Amino acid sequence: MRRVLLTNHVLSGALIGAVARRPGPAFAVGVASHFALDAVPHWGDWGSKRRFLQVAVPDGLISLAVMGAVAALSPAERRPAVVAGMAGAALPDIDKPTKLLFGWSPWPRVVDEFHQRIQPEASGRAHIELLAAAGFAAALSVLRRPAAGPDSAGPARWRDRRG
């Protein structure tokens, strides 16, 4: 029962997709980012299954909402890469719901063991997760801005004001 909040995996995956711009690399880097993020000290080590679920269930639902919202808000030309990045970043944690519901992981045991072993978790690190989420969200909102072209809104707005 150890994990980085899925919401943070989804946000970082979206960011990767926005930068990568191509779905293939975005997906691959998204998967890599999952394990990289897991290896950073993060929140975890919940005392009980009940406490774990109190965090994991809302986190799962928020992740789905974030995926939908980010996909909808992404500029059309970036959307495939952004969705691929989010899917890649979230994919390694698909074993969390399947273990919870069916007691079964879709990954080979070596992957599960690696996934567990890389995670240095401790309780009381919620602030790191929240800071990370805020950082990812801020970076995403910057990337969402359309690139300023030669005919950007600036001069037109001035003309409008005069006329």
Footprint on this chain of Zn ion (rule: CB under 5 A): 38, 93
Nearer Cβ to Zn ion, position 59 or 93?
93
Looking at residue 24, the DSSP 8-state letter turns out to be H
Selection from 77, 81, 68, 71 nearest residue 147 by Cα: 77
Q: Helices 49-73 and 6-20 sit at what angle, rounded to 10 degrees?
A: 20
Q: Are 147 and 135 in contact (CB under 8 A)?
A: no
Nearer Cβ to Zn ion, position 78 or 96?
96
> What's the CA gap between 85 and 78, in Å, rounded?
11
Largest CA distance in the chain: 69
Taking the complex as a whole, how short is the minimal distance between the CB of residue 9 and Zn ion, in angstroms? 7
Nearer Cβ to Zn ion, position 36 or 134?
36
Nearer Cβ to Zn ion, position 15 or 74?
15
